[in-house]
A and B are shown apart, each in its own frame.
Chain A
Amino acid sequence: MFIPVEATPPSFKGFTLILPAIAVGNVAQLAVDLIVSTLSMKRVGYMHTDCLVPMVGPNPYATSAEDAGEIHTTAEVYTDAEKKLAVLQIRSPLIQSRSKKFRKLLVSWIKASEFSRTVVLSSSHAYQRDDQQLKGTPLRYLVTPAMRTASGPALTELGWMEMERLSPFPGLVEAVPRLSIPGGGVTKGLFTDGCQEELCLAVVLVFCSEGDNVPDAFTLVNHLNEWLLLVDNDKRGAQKWKVPGSWRLLFGSSHPPSIF
């Protein structure tokens, strides 16, 4: 599944991996775009798989005319060697009948690459929050047991809120609370796989609704930055993140003036 760009495959041993779940509002994918664009990360490989809908396009992170024509594919891996950071960006939907296969491929790649920790960015339907989730921050996290040992205290110190287990039948006392991430795509499956495979994995997600999800992406990536310190935290607001050129015309071209 992973095919390196250069003849010599890169080593990911000890790296932190960030990857998006294809979830409501595509917030995680937008957040990953901000990370790759801001850190000017270098493409080191492709995730070539039949689990994703094929697409190609010109370089979404182009900074000059020379690299604007370089083509980029459905799923690619970028690295920042100095920060020991790797990012997998996924640009198209999963083929639904192959989502389980995709999860398995991802988990086996993560284990084989010996990442020190994995962070799955995600989102969940805001309209399906229960009463307690409606209050306060829309950001949540989940950690596997291995990650709780490694980073649990740091996240608690940051004051982050862990994702609640909810009763499937509110009001019914006997119902056992369970983890539910509506609109999260493969997030819950990946998290469960991470627990089973003893991966050091965390999920960071934001409750949101479909629409203009750019602000949600900034919310998510700023929240992640509190923990991973990817960019200088002194700069306030959105200025510290560089918006890629591919975000132009997110909702299509404007209307042609000639129709009036």
Chain B
Amino acid sequence: MATFFGEVLSVSSRAVDEDEEDENDEDEEILKELDETREVHLEWYQSNSNLMTDTNLIIAVGRNAASFLSVYVLTSASWEAVGHASVSNAGSQTICGQTSTEPACVFYRKKDNRAVILCQISGYIEEDQQFQWTEKVLGGFKQKGLSVTVLSDSPVAEYKNMDHASSSSSPFLLCLQTKSSTTNPQCPLLEQPNIFTGIQAAVLSHCQVNQIPAVAYQCYSDAISPDSITMDTYKLAFTSVGDIKVGPLPSADIFNKFIKTNHIQSNLYI
């Protein structure tokens, strides 16, 4: 539900209230102003950053997915930042768990292959902004030859299955792909009654509706913060993404840079 201040709260109850009585002009004006604060702002540092054909777009959403890109892919010098998208919402938090004025997501392009673009989403994009984010980002790329891969995290507690053995072997990877995708995924398909929500769902919906080849990989893990085992699971997804080298097992220093900064300061056991 949306509160008066415009932030969207996820309601746990399915019960719904009756529609409000028709708003008057003043209410409409307030809602319009609130809507403007929910805008997604997209900026490309160079005017043609997104206008390649045959673009291979990889989107990482979630702490482990985004950290995987940082640790395994972006450590090499062959990537340059080419744009960012920012959203304004009260729940915005970076990988570090701090509210930040840094952009919610950054786009990187491979220097030696300008058609490969990574999108690392470190903030949280609220439900009422997900569609807009997707339309602005994907709508800005040339559709010809565009292919999309999404990496996302999910708690294993949200995975529904009769067989408890499968969920006890977390982290594990499952995927969904659009009808026009010809990728041979390297992991099992997600089975009913499970679903994807969030940015990965918005992106996959957009691609399905617009007949863009896309695959979304979701890693189910019981880790609540970035960890090396969960990040390592994403390497499987990259075997079917051409022309991106996943680096060797990083050093402990690089891992510690990402894992330590998520450590919650607690005075419980002083």
7 inter-chain pairs at a CB distance below 8 angstroms, sorted by A residue, are A49-B131, A50-B128, A50-B131, A58-B191, A69-B176, A97-B2, A97-B6
If A54-B199, A55-B197, A182-B17 are given as contacts, then 9 extra A-B residue pairs at C-beta distance below 8 Å, sorted by A number, are A54-B197, A56-B201, A71-B178, A96-B1, A181-B18, A183-B16, A183-B18, A185-B19, A246-B192
Partner of B128, one of A98, A187, A245: A98
Task: Known contacts A56-B204, A250-B193; decide if A23 and B16 are in contact (CB<8 Å).
Answer: yes
- Cross-chain pair count, CB within 8 angstroms: 155
B24 proximal to A (CB < 8 A): no
B251 proximal to A (CB < 8 A): no
Residue pair B16, A48 in contact (C-beta under 8 Å): no
Partner of A249, one of B8, B135, B160: B160
Residues in chain B near residue A19, CB distance under 8 A: none
Identify whether the interface residues of A are mostly helix, strand, loop, or mixed. loop
CB-nearest residue of chain B to A51: B131
Residue pair B162, A249 in contact (C-beta under 8 Å): yes
Residues in chain A near residue B134, CB distance under 8 A: 54
Residue pair A54, B193 in contact (C-beta under 8 Å): no
Query: 8 Å CB contacts to B: which residues of A179-222?
Result: 180-189, 210
Residue pair A56, B1 in contact (C-beta under 8 Å): no
CB-nearest residue of chain B to A259: B164
Residues in chain B near residue A180, CB distance under 8 A: 18
Residues in chain A near residue B127, CB distance under 8 A: 53-54, 95
Identify whether the interface residues of B are mostly helix, strand, loop, or mixed. mixed
Partner of A54, one of B11, B22, B130, B192: B130
- Cα–Cα distance between A257 and B164 once the two chains are bound (Å): 8
A236 proximal to B (CB < 8 A): no
Of listed B13, B127, B167, B192, residue having the most chain A CB within 10 A:
B192
> Which residues from chain B sit less than 8 Å from chain A, CB to CB?
1-2, 6, 8, 11, 13-19, 22-23, 31, 34-35, 127-128, 130-132, 134-135, 159-162, 164, 167-168, 176-179, 189-202, 204-206, 208-209, 216
Residue pair B15, A183 in contact (C-beta under 8 Å): yes
A168 CB → nearest B CB, Å: 12
- Cα–Cα distance between A47 and B26 once the two chains are bound (Å): 30
- Cα–Cα distance between A49 and B206 once the two chains are bound (Å): 10
Task: Known contacts A54-B197, A54-B198; decide if A253 and B164 are in contact (CB<8 Å).
Answer: yes
Query: 8 Å CB contacts to B: which residues of A227-250?
Result: 245-250
A185 CB → nearest B CB, Å: 4
A72 CB → nearest B CB, Å: 9
Residues in chain A near residue B13, CB distance under 8 A: 210
Residues in chain A near residue B31, CB distance under 8 A: 97
- Cα–Cα distance between A49 and B197 once the two chains are bound (Å): 15
CB-nearest residue of chain B to A184: B18
CB-nearest residue of chain A to B160: A249
Residue pair B192, A248 in contact (C-beta under 8 Å): yes
A152 proximal to B (CB < 8 A): no
- The number of chain A residues with a CB under 8 A from chain B is 57
Residues in chain A near residue B16, CB distance under 8 A: 22-24, 93, 183-185
Fill in one digit per residue for A40-52: 1 if any B CB lies within 8 Å of its CB, else 0: 0000001011100
Of listed A46, A54, A58, A59, residue having the most chain B CB within 10 A:
A54
A144 proximal to B (CB < 8 A): no
- Cα–Cα distance between A252 and B199 once the two chains are bound (Å): 23
Partner of A97, one of B34, B159, B201, B202: B34
- Cα–Cα distance between A23 and B13 once the two chains are bound (Å): 11
Residues in chain A near residue B161, CB distance under 8 A: 249, 253
Residues in chain B near residue A71, CB distance under 8 A: 176-179, 204, 208
- Cα–Cα distance between A53 and B11 once the two chains are bound (Å): 12
Task: Known contacts A54-B131, A245-B193, A258-B168; decide if A186 and B14 are in contact (CB<8 Å).
Answer: no
Residue pair A56, B176 in contact (C-beta under 8 Å): yes
Of listed A46, A71, A93, A258, residue having the most chain B CB within 10 A:
A71
A163 proximal to B (CB < 8 A): no
- Cα–Cα distance between A118 and B134 once the two chains are bound (Å): 32
A125 proximal to B (CB < 8 A): yes
Residue pair B192, A68 in contact (C-beta under 8 Å): yes
Residues in chain B near residue A125, CB distance under 8 A: 15
- Cα–Cα distance between A241 and B127 once the two chains are bound (Å): 34
B88 CB → nearest A CB, Å: 15
Residue pair B2, A96 in contact (C-beta under 8 Å): yes
CB-nearest residue of chain A to B190: A58
- Cα–Cα distance between A86 and B120 once the two chains are bound (Å): 40
Residues in chain B near residue A183, CB distance under 8 A: 15-18
Query: 8 Å CB contacts to B: which residues of A36-85?
Result: 46, 48-50, 53-60, 62, 68-71, 73-74
Residue pair A48, B205 in contact (C-beta under 8 Å): yes
- Cα–Cα distance between A71 and B150 once the two chains are bound (Å): 15
A136 proximal to B (CB < 8 A): no
- Cα–Cα distance between A23 and B19 once the two chains are bound (Å): 11
Residues in chain A near residue B164, CB distance under 8 A: 253, 256-258
